[in-house]
Amino acid sequence: MKTRIFLALMLFGSVMATQAQFLRFGIKAGPNFANFSGGVDGIDYKSRTSFHAGAVVQIKPFDNFALQPEVLYSSQGADVEGVGDFNLDYISVPVMARFFVLTDKLSIDVGPQFSFLVDDAEVVFDEVAGDADTESFDFAAAGGVTLNITQGLFVSGRYTIGLTEASKDAEVKNAVFQLSLGYMF
């Protein structure tokens, strides 16, 4: 009888450990280095430093592959010389395919990102001039690397390039480099 209980507990423990490795939740945050790509010749776009923060879910069906959807608050935009600063805040949903180069340590991450505009503002001479007349949806391609420092702590770098125009008035697209520090539970 004791042997059966022990075997049942061992089986339950191994199933729980496998399940814990298959599905993990986490948080991440860090700086954004955002700018516009494209646009009109002669207009000088300057990078805007802002931030991103949010939640991560990792689904890892295989040792060297994981799918990682995220929900991030991401502040983007650019500073345009002589025009003003464009502050664009999004709820971004990247869905990253993670290919592990070193099992459970280093991965190459690629995937689409779907962003929904929650706030936009044009700042001229330190005063908010109003809405920046931007598109409410931004579709982008993202790629980067992630290094798992410990079982839970990770750092990542990612570049996201917009595939749709960010503004209704100009042919510009978002371009963002993100550095992240995160923790998986």
Tally Cβ neighbours within 10 Å of residue 137.
Answer: 12
Average pLDDT over residues 105-129: 87
> pTM, whole model, 2 decimals?
0.85
Whether residue 16 is predicted with pLDDT greater than 60 in this model: the reply is no
Q: Classify residue 13: in a domain, yes or no.
A: no
Q: Classify residue 6: in a domain, yes or no.
A: no
Tell the residue number behind the tokens 């339950």, with chain if given: 12
- Overall domain count for the chain: 1
In the beta sheet, which residues pair with residue 84? 80
Q: Classify residue 102: in a domain, yes or no.
A: yes
Q: Classify residue 31: in a domain, yes or no.
A: yes
Determine the pLDDT at residue 139.
Answer: 98
Whether residue 78 is predicted with pLDDT greater than 50 in this model: the reply is yes
Q: Classify residue 43: in a domain, yes or no.
A: yes
Whether residue 81 is predicted with pLDDT greater than 90 in this model: the reply is no
Q: Classify residue 7: in a domain, yes or no.
A: no
Whether residue 47 is predicted with pLDDT greater than 90 in this model: the reply is yes
Task: Return the CATH number at 177.
Answer: 2.40.160.20
Extract the runs of DSSP E, i.e. beta strands, from the chain. Answer: 23-38, 45-46, 48-62, 65-80, 84-102, 106-124, 127-130, 137-148, 153-162, 172-184
Whether residue 13 is predicted with pLDDT greater than 50 in this model: the reply is no
Determine the pLDDT at residue 17.
Answer: 47
Q: Classify residue 17: in a domain, yes or no.
A: no
Residue 39, domain extent: 24-184
Q: Classify residue 9: in a domain, yes or no.
A: no
Rounded to whole angstroms, the Cα distance separating 105 from 166 reads 35
